């Protein structure tokens, strides 16, 4: 299979590795606004060649869109304008906005909306890693609006990447993504800022920071170029979850004020039940 990937960063680059390794792709075309990224991707053998958007689309059977979500909004209709019977798959982290944009596009059926739930806090082609997607899950959204053959090809592609599939409407996807991914990032950014603003003496944090701190602020290293457009496109859901998160923190605060450590204990016990969810899923 000849696959074009637009946006050769963490996700696009890691997909290139997986799809090559599994044998699903025999030829990967890289397309990127940054020639520097393309050069790196060629040197790392992530892609076999780099082409312009037009050439790449004409040459490929599947086109994967793995750009930040602000670029995706302009890119997706443009790509659909150019395709004939190729399948177009995006991997964006928010779905309602992007699906609305192409709702009435004459090639809408060529397009399958997907979100592979995997990533790291790094970005760019240098961040691409093997096995990033192994045993993770991909959400396919609103597949009834896609051509059956396009959906089937998408299924095969993600199966080749060792991923399982779940099916959600775009709205449910965006709500769940706000809870299990987007809020974690805001929490981590905020925690990093809180500590940075206080601890001017960086050496002290450097010395004292233990594994726990590192784990909770890991996502704070994530790039604003990728994340701001996600928060922008999933703003309403992110705001709802953020409100609930602030309320939960305020509950802890109020228990500290009242020195109600019995209730504090009960809340932590309740939080502990996250164990059975995340330990199952290692």
Partners of 50 in beta bridges: 30
**Closer to a copy of itself by Cβ: residue 52 or 281:** 281
CB of 120 to a copy of itself, least distance (A): 7
CB of 158 to a copy of itself, least distance (A): 14
**Closer to a copy of itself by Cβ: residue 84 or 278:** 278
Largest CA distance in the chain: 67
CA–chain centroid gap for 175, Å, is: 14
CB of 127 to a copy of itself, least distance (A): 13
CA–chain centroid gap for 167, Å, is: 16
CB of 196 to a copy of itself, least distance (A): 6
**Closer to a copy of itself by Cβ: residue 83 or 223:** 223
CB of 272 to a copy of itself, least distance (A): 6
Helix axes of 148-160 and 10-21: crossing angle, nearest 10 degrees:
80
**Closer to a copy of itself by Cβ: residue 86 or 237:** 237
Cα gap 134→199, rounded to integer Å: 38
- Picking from 185, 195, 245, 194, the residue whose alpha carbon sits closest to that of residue 220 is 185
**Closer to a copy of itself by Cβ: residue 93 or 110:** 93
How many residues are present in the chain? 282
Cα gap 59→51, rounded to integer Å: 9
């Amino acid at each position: 299979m000849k696959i074009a990937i637009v946006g050769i960063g963490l996700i696009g680059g890691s997909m290139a590795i997986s799809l090559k390794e599994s044998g699903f792709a025999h030829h990967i075309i890289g397309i990127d606004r940054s020639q520097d990224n393309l050069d790196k991707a060629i040197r790392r053998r992530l892609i076999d060649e780099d082409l312009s958007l037009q050439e790449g689309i004409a040459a490929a059977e599947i086109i994967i869109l793995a750009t930040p979500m602000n670029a995706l909004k302009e890119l997706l209709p443009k790509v659909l304008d150019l395709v004939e019977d190729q399948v177009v798959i995006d991997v964006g982290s928010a779905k309602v906005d992007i699906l609305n944009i192409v709702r009435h596009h004459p090639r809408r059926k060529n397009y399958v909306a997907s979100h592979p739930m995997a990533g790291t806090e790094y970005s760019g082609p240098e961040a691409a890693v093997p096995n990033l997607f192994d045993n993770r899950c991909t959400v396919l959204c609103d597949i009834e609006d896609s051509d059956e053959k396009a959906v089937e090809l998408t299924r095969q592609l993600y199966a080749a990447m060792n991923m399982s599939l779940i099916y959600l409407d775009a709205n449910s996807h965006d709500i769940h993504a706000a809870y299990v991914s987007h809020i974690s990032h805001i929490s981590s950014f905020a925690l990093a800022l809180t500590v940075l603003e206080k601890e001017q003496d960086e050496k002290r944090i450097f010395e004292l920071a233990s594994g726990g701190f590192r784990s909770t602020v890991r996502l704070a290293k994530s790039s604003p170029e990728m994340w701001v457009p996600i928060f922008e496109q999933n703003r309403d859901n992110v705001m709802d979850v953020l409100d609930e998160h602030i309320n939960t923190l305020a509950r802890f605060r109020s228990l500290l004020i009242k020195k109600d450590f019995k209730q504090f204990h009960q809340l932590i016990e309740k939080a502990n039940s996250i164990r059975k969810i995340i330990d199952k899923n290692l």
